[in-house]
Structure 1
């Protein structure tokens, strides 16, 4: 599943005049020493890594073709993996000191990699190589850890509920209208599963396997997942209550875990086996790509809410771009990041696949129609549920998210009781939060 693609690109002298003349001090928060000067005609090779699928890979192909026209002397070697495998590989590389030059990056890991000195301090490049004018300050602040910018957000997204109109028409059930209670959503899934039994179609997946659904419940109650200091906003009893709330759904309403294993790395939703999926709103393009040409549209509505009127949802960076602290070509890498964040051509290539573009210039290049316009309108529709975003995730947040997912799988298989699951997660938290 590890795939490599090569693109040839370059730094044009005019674009990097400021970078070439810039004398950089060794102020990298990641502990790297940027080159004192830069030759814009130098042939440079950069390694770029992202998570995704063939749909996203094709979009990067288009983006790098445009990059190639503007910067023909940089060779960009790209590789991609599924999300869990991507982070497993990054951890292996981090231990060996060999991270890619530029990386698509997840918010959950930003603090961990920043505080461990693995990411380049981007502040010396802001305003010259990396254009910050098109990006709102609150979006730029998303990439700041302990006063140092180590990531640039490409886009924002929000938690939502996708539905599949074609499957729903096939089984004769109306779409879920959005919002409502978790019981309302479960009742709707039951209708779909009952109606689709002969066709192998289910209402959805066990929502308690996703830590984000736990988080929005906690936020609705006025709590949080983790504070900036790493304090959990829940106890064992609250986590047990959450996992118990999915027990009935796991018992014949949602798609069986074994079927999910059989279609992996697809989810039940983009394998056309479930009619709904709770996830980040920028996943839509990937779903449509995996579903195939016979599926032309998706529904996107607000997830259930625990407390009416709660500010349980928030906008987060759907992803960021970062640079390895040990890159040999920081200015070239910064040029690549600038292009991936600000270029209208990249906006045209991706639409909302990476989320709603955070840069005004990139948003101008994105033709938002169809699903892209739907995502824009969805984020506007949930404005009354949007609260402040949580702080930059604690060190180990990505590890805990993956552990939560794995426990969800075991609950689906019935190999763990809820009490055992809670103990496992708290044991993992104890290790992660106290290391």
Structure 2
């Protein structure tokens, strides 16, 4: 009999269908739109006054990120001695609670680190400055592709500049694969992926699981829809799929669920792993590639030399542009700022400066600006992230519409329903009905 401690330790999932970008969506502006012209209705940019100016800058993060910003701001103030930057930071929930309060009172900070999921809400409510007049002026665009610039466009107006990008991917555990005696996933269709998962599980005698049910993440559904030429959600807020297509997706993962499935069961995912003080839950490890750093504590559970593999997700339609670059975060300027030009100069510095690139590395994802990338010595994890994005370049298409207001609620509902499907407490038809009911509420239909 296998020792229970050993069994649970090897219960770790080998393949973790990551969501590299999909936390979600980017902008709808296509390559035929000139992002530098977006928001031209804003008129002429107000020139920097040259007088002493104080800017408020807010971001979310921890002490590590705060130190990086402190170093970057010091360099900015050295280059522009007439501009003083007062920075503040909070954890993520508190950051947005404070922004909501400020937005209600018209007192947003001049410059903000911004999350993609809030961009549409704040843009459509007129709270963010039209950056169009500043592009090519205070904000250099030489190092930013049209695809990158398009990410920050809402209703044809540029209101955000991506600091860095992520692309959806799949993490694997090379050490467990070596133990199972199975090679890395070499690519192929979703059926090929399921066969590979089953091979790993079978080769290890059930001590190692090849993967988990990939249908629990809405991002994997989006990858398949994009391959079919559809969006998860359209610009007008309507879904790009019907009940039958969602049912088909969830049904496709049925043979990976439960104790008899090829993947690790939901019950096993919920079991604690002895000695780790955490749970190896595949769904928690599915995230955009640029967020690989946050899983380093996980990979260090056995030895400092442990690493995570990084491969492209399965292919739905050969040659399709099913992936896209999602911003790990953006920088925006409040529409109420009294110093738009100086604020734009700060955004430019934080997005384009090679010196800032040297400070941050890939802490915020792969820098969106090639100019900023010039300041980074790519090695180790930084090189792994850069090389992955380069490897999927032929699958990168235009980003979808900026996330609709309430997207986060739907993403979480999708995850919860996927978990219940894993436990067998819901049928696929029941899950589809619940998700469409939730969409009716969120989308106001």
Count of aligned positions: 391
User: Aligned pair 1:357/2:367, yes or no?
Assistant: yes
Q: 1:221 to 1:70 in 2, by over 3 A?
A: closer
Structure 2 matches for 1:281-320, cutoff 5 A? 281-292=289-300, 294-320=304-330
- Pick aligned residue for 1:232 from 239, 254, 263: 239
Alpha-carbon distance in structure 1 between the residues aligned to 2:284 and 2:175: 11
- Pick aligned residue for 2:427 from 414, 417, 421: 417
Q: 1:346 to 1:336 in 2, by over 3 A?
A: same
Alpha-carbon distance in structure 2 between the residues aligned to 1:134 and 1:285: 25
Alpha-carbon distance in structure 1 between the residues aligned to 2:281 and 2:414: 23
Q: Which residue number in structure 2 is paired with residue 18 of structure 1? A: none
Q: CA deviation at 1:93?
A: 6.4
Q: CA deviation at 1:111?
A: 2.1
Q: 1:257 to 1:40 in 2, by over 3 A?
A: farther
**TM-score (structure 1 length as normaliser):** 0.76
Alpha-carbon distance in structure 1 between the residues aligned to 2:271 and 2:98: 21
- Pick aligned residue for 2:126 from 117, 122, 132: 117
- Pick aligned residue for 1:220 from 227, 233, 241: 227
Secondary structure of the residue that 1:322 maps to in structure 2?
Answer: strand
Alpha-carbon distance in structure 1 between the residues aligned to 2:134 and 2:226: 36
Q: 1:222 to 1:125 in 2, by over 3 A?
A: closer
- Pick aligned residue for 1:58 from 55, 64, 74: 64
Contact 2:47 2:341 in 1 (8 A): no
Once the two structures are superposed, residues 159-208 of structure 1 have per-residue CA deviations (whole angstroms, 9 ceiling, x without a partner) of 1111122333344443222x222233223334445666887x54334321
Q: 1:359 to 1:311 in 2, by over 3 A?
A: closer
Q: 1:433 to 1:421 in 2, by over 3 A?
A: same
Q: 1:155 to 1:249 in 2, by over 3 A?
A: same
Contact 1:220 1:306 in 2 (8 A): yes
Contact 1:192 1:275 in 2 (8 A): no
Q: Which residue number in structure 2 is paired with residue 22 of structure 1? A: none
Q: 1:358 to 1:69 in 2, by over 3 A?
A: closer
Q: 1:93 to 1:209 in 2, by over 3 A?
A: farther
Q: 1:278 to 1:63 in 2, by over 3 A?
A: same
User: Aligned pair 1:404/2:414, yes or no?
Assistant: yes
Q: Which residue number in structure 2 is paired with residue 347 of structure 1? A: 357
Q: Whose relative contact order is higher, 1 or 2, with alpha carbons under 8 Å and at least 6 apart? A: 2
Q: CA deviation at 1:89?
A: 7.1
- Pick aligned residue for 1:375 from 385, 395, 400: 385
Q: Which residue number in structure 2 is paired with residue 17 of structure 1? A: none
Q: CA deviation at 1:144?
A: 1.9
Alpha-carbon distance in structure 2 between the residues aligned to 1:379 and 1:368: 13
Contact 2:143 2:352 in 1 (8 A): yes
Structure 2 matches for 1:146-225, cutoff 5 A? 146-177=155-186, 179-193=187-201, 202-225=209-232
Once the two structures are superposed, residues 267-319 of structure 1 have per-residue CA deviations (whole angstroms, 9 ceiling, x without a partner) of x9xx6565995542212222225533724532111111223333322233333
Q: Which residue number in structure 2 is paired with residue 74 of structure 1? A: 85
Q: CA deviation at 1:79?
A: 1.8
Q: CA deviation at 1:388?
A: 3.1
Q: 1:276 to 1:145 in 2, by over 3 A?
A: closer
Structure 2 matches for 1:216-295, cutoff 5 A? 216-252=223-259, 253-254=263-264, 256=266, 259=269, 278-292=286-300, 294-295=304-305
- Pick aligned residue for 1:130 from 123, 139, 160: 139
Secondary structure of the residue that 1:231 maps to in structure 2?
Answer: coil
Once the two structures are superposed, residues 240-270 of structure 1 have per-residue CA deviations (whole angstroms, 9 ceiling, x without a partner) of 111122233231323536745979xx9x9xx
Alpha-carbon distance in structure 2 between the residues aligned to 1:386 and 1:45: 36
Alpha-carbon distance in structure 1 between the residues aligned to 2:429 and 2:107: 40
Alpha-carbon distance in structure 2 between the residues aligned to 1:44 and 1:167: 50
Structure 1: state its 5+ residue gaps: 1-26
Contact 1:204 1:277 in 2 (8 A): no
Alpha-carbon distance in structure 2 between the residues aligned to 1:165 and 1:273: 17
Secondary structure of the residue that 1:75 maps to in structure 2?
Answer: strand
Contact 1:318 1:354 in 2 (8 A): yes
Q: CA deviation at 1:227?
A: 2.2
Contact 2:299 2:308 in 1 (8 A): no
Bigger mean CA deviation after superposition, 348-357 or 187-196 = 187-196
Alpha-carbon distance in structure 2 between the residues aligned to 1:38 and 1:146: 30
Q: 1:131 to 1:262 in 2, by over 3 A?
A: farther
Q: Which residue number in structure 2 is paired with residue 9 of structure 1? A: none
